[in-house]
Amino acid sequence: MTERLAAILGCAGEELTEPEQVLFRETRPVGLILFSRNCRSPEQVRRLTDSWREAVGTDDGLVLIDQEGGRVRRLGPPHWRPPPAAAEFGRLAAGDSGLAAELARLNAQLIAADLRPLGVNVDCIPVLDVPAPGAHDVIGDRAFAADPDLVAALGHATCDGLEAGGVLPVIKHIPGHGRAEIDSHEALPIVTADREDLDRLDFAPFRSLSDAPLAMTAHVVFTTLDRNRPATTSPDVIGLIRDDIGFGGLLMTDDLSMNALPGDMRDRTLAARAAGCDVALHCNGDADEMASVAEHAGPLDKAGRQRLDAALGRLSEPEFLHVPAAVSRIDEALDRAERGGPS
């Protein structure tokens, strides 16, 4: 079996440059991640994902996007429906938790119906972070609610809906980003909560969804677990994710180009892989940085390959979905909830 690079990389624009094609052809990364800069129209995105698969020489790969809803989405009008933020389903649950879960699943199916024709087979949702009072709003309404049981229920529904639509979910940011008081895109958050509180609140939704196919780490220091290193580069925290939380799927880093991590791209890649992350994720499309990640990530090991194969094995043909009816049902229910009427 030909080796795959233990990395998911971005690209700079709407089509692969010649150097990007060479890099992907020579290194065969596990995946490609798309951002708004890469997405102009359905036809263009499909050409881009097809060209990436052609470069790596296989259909056996992951094409990811962050299509959460609300303020975090890479696809939007006029070609794609903007999904609601996760917190809207949490608010709906205050009146009818069963309906909220049903519509969260339906919303995920709708997202999958947008992604699958583009050649995108992974969406980086659900966010399972439990927001804490005083936390930075980098998570904010990306989270379903402050109740970990409700987060788990809506997270389950979202995973089910994506997989029903033929797209894989990514639970994030494991083991939890909800207490971070600063944005990990800008600096390194440090969480000092005790282990009992972390177990009860932050870790609980991830434990509930530990059978998910894919997960993304948090660039957050948990001082009760490792005083110096963020989860992404901490063998102690990765060990907890595997053994205590029980996550057995493919574990990717959050974006290595975020400012929370110390060192250059070589240092970050080596540290994440040494800690136990299966795959290094690099998002910004910078050619020099991608080359460094590719040089130092190393091949996907046997366990990582098994986890990748298990994830890909969960992809299936989508269930039938009547899109206009589904959109109307979600919009009407959320509108009634916002007005304070019965669901």
What are the boundaries of each domain within the chain?
Answer: 63-288+303-339
Nearest 5°: the CA angle 76, 78, 81 is 45
Nearest 5°: the CA angle 184, 311, 61 is 80
As a whole number of angstroms, the distance between CA 214 and CA 283 comes to 17
- To the nearest 10 degrees (0 to 180), the angle between helices 148-164 and 86-93 is 120
Euclidean distance between CA atoms 273 and 174, whole angstroms: 16
Contact (CB, 8 A) for 141 and 182: no
Q: Which residue has the tokens 């069963």?
A: 98
**Tokens linked to 208:** 């509930």
Check residue 341 and give its pLDDT.
59
From 254, 255, 282, 296, active-site residue: 254
pTM of the model: 0.96
Q: What is the pLDDT of residue 293?
A: 98
Q: Which of 333, 318, 222, 26 is nearest to 231 (CA)?
A: 222
**What's at 24, amino acid-wise?**
F
In the chain, which residues have pLDDT < 70? 1, 341-343
Q: Which residue has the tokens 């990389």?
A: 9
Contact (CB, 8 A) for 294 and 7: yes
Reply yes or no on whether 282 is catalytic. Answer: no
Omega before residue 84 within 30° of 0, cis: no
**59, 137, 149, 185: which one is catalytic?**
185
Contacts of 309 (CB under 8 A, 6+ apart): none
CATH number of 63-288+303-339: 3.20.20.300
Note if 254 is an active site residue: yes
Does the N-terminal peptide bond of residue 219 adopt cis geometry, omega within 30 degrees of 0?
no
Q: Which of 247, 242, 217, 244 is nearest to 231 (CA)?
A: 217
Residue 342: what pLDDT? 52
Q: State CA 11 to chain mean position distance.
A: 17
Tell me the sheet residues that pair with 63: 32
The DSSP 8-state label assigned to residue 279 in this structure reads B
Helix, strand, coil abundance in the chain, percent, nearest 5: 45, 10, 45
Give the C-alpha distances (Å, rounded to integers) separating 36 from 53, 76, 83.
20, 9, 15
For strands 214-217 and 190-191, give the pairing: unpaired
The span from the CA of 8 to the CA of 27, in Å, is 11
- State which amino acid sits at residue 59: D
Residue keyed to tokens 């024709």: 117
Residue 1 has what pLDDT?
Answer: 45
